[in-house]
Amino acid sequence: MRPARALIDLQALRHNYQLARELTGAKALAVIKADAYGHGAVRCALALEQQADGFAVACIEEALELRAAGIKPPVLLLEGFFEASELQLIAQHDLWCVVHSLWQLEAIEQAHLSKPITVWLKLDSGMHRVGLHAKDYQAAYQRLLASGKVARIVLMSHFARADELDSDASNEQLAVFQAARQGLSAEVSLRNSPAVLGWPNMPSDWVRPGLMLYGATPFEVPQAEAARLQPVMTVQSRVISVRELPTGEPVGYGAKFISPRPTRVGVVAMGYADGYPRQAPNGTPVLVAGKRTQLIGRVSMDMLCIDLTDVPEAGLGSPVELWGKNVLASEVAMHAGNIPYQIFCNLKRVPLDYSGD
């Protein structure tokens, strides 16, 4: 069998969820959209079900998958519904629903619902992607209340630059949010992972950690709270071939690596079809037989090459960690000009092995 695997440590997932709560003293929706950032939404939700205040996903398809697996806590649809016809299912399955646009508000007013729903009313406080304009916010709140279709409203917004610890943008967004919600006595939700970790004074009754649950830092610089995270996913494989090259020989497609010295090359069963970033250059860190070494040559679809010259104990069959507890996904991302979010989401073909339930 091909030795490529992704080990998912559910104990680490629970640790990271607890950290989000501990840092904020808030209730936390575990964001498990996009199949829990590649970690498997149902398994992650089951692992967190006993402790989680709720979950958040991108769309009703993802929410119904959780309900079908018997997962009972609240599930928030982060983009609400895409068509008004979803509202019946939202009420029926007790899903919580973001309202980010006036057309959604109108659809709720006109819907015939079996029971009132919970709405998270989203303000555009400066990201300018989705969310109601500040001038419409109070009126939208009153219309939801008056509609009789809504049991509970949470006020929310989303930060565009919370990962930039030296930027004023998040405080500016907070000021816009506070002005828009003046006089509304409802619960508030603002913070994603970088705001949970890096912005201790942001108000939030509810936080919405995603990336940090999986143990990766959203910051490009070292940060004390992020250092307390435990990586959840370890992508590993094995060396399937070894060769010795003299100085001056190319390795891989396009000869992007030329041996600068006599070089021992290990070939690893892992490629871009597994989600390993093809853009990762020579020098991207890799762990083999417990020691750090580097990627050499272009990543191909099913294989990549690493330098074994300084790891003489490594050879055919040696275990390789592409990212995980030793080589962080954020390091691989940084080398590849990517972000850990996409490194995780891109994972495919590799079987997931769970531990720690």
Ligand X SMILES: *Cc1c(COP(=O)(O)O)cnc(C)c1O
Residues carrying an active site annotation: 33, 253
Taking the least distance from each CB to ligand X, the nearer of 65 and 249 is: 65
Question: Closest residue to ligand X, Cβ-based?
Answer: 210
User: Closest CB to ligand X among 216 and 332?
Assistant: 216
**Integer Cα distance of 237 and 285 in angstroms:** 15
Is 334 one of the annotated binding-site residues?
Answer: no
| Chain positions contacting ligand X, by CB under 6 A | 31, 33, 78, 158, 192-193, 208-211, 218
- Encoding tokens for residue 207? 């936080």
- The minimum distance between CB 166 and ligand X, in angstroms, equals 18
Map residue 17 onto helix, strand or coil: helix
- Shortest separation between residue 262's beta carbon and ligand X, angstroms: 45
- Give least dist CB 214 to ligand X, A: 8
Name the amino acid, one letter, at 176.
V
The distance of closest approach from Cβ of residue 142 to ligand X in the complex, given in angstroms and rounded to an integer, is: 23
Position of tokens 């959604």? 104
Structure tokens at 115: 């029971």
**Closest by alpha carbon to 267, among 236, 241, 249?**
241
119/306 with CB nearer ligand X:
119
If the CB atoms of residues 211 and 303 are measured against ligand X, the closer one turns out to be: 211
Smaller CB separation from ligand X, 78 or 235: 78
Specify which residues 206 forms β-bridges with.
Answer: 27, 189
CB of 208 to ligand X, least distance (A): 4
The reply, when asked if residue 129 is annotated as ligand binding, is yes
- Rounded to 10 degrees, the C-alpha dihedral 177/183/187/192 comes to 10
Identify which of 157, 198, 197, 202 has the alpha carbon closest to the alpha carbon of residue 177. 157
E-state strands within the chain? 5-9, 27-31, 54-57, 75-77, 95-99, 117-122, 150-156, 187-191, 206-207, 233-245, 250-251, 257-258, 263-268, 285-288, 291-296, 304-307, 319-323, 352-355
DSSP secondary-structure letter at 351?
P
Q: Which is nearer to ligand X, 109 or 225 (CB)?
A: 225
Task: Supply the minimum distance, in Å, between the C-beta of residue 212 and ligand X.
Answer: 6
As a whole number of angstroms, the distance between CA 248 and CA 268 comes to 22
Instruction: Round to whole Å and give the CA distance between 29 and 73.
Output: 10
CA distance 117 to 75: 12
Spatial distance between the Cα atoms of 56 and 79, rounded to a whole number of angstroms: 10
Q: What is the Cα–Cα distance from 189 to 231, expressed in whole angstroms?
A: 26
| Residues contributing to the annotated binding site | 129, 301
| Residues contributing to the annotated binding site for substrate | 129, 301
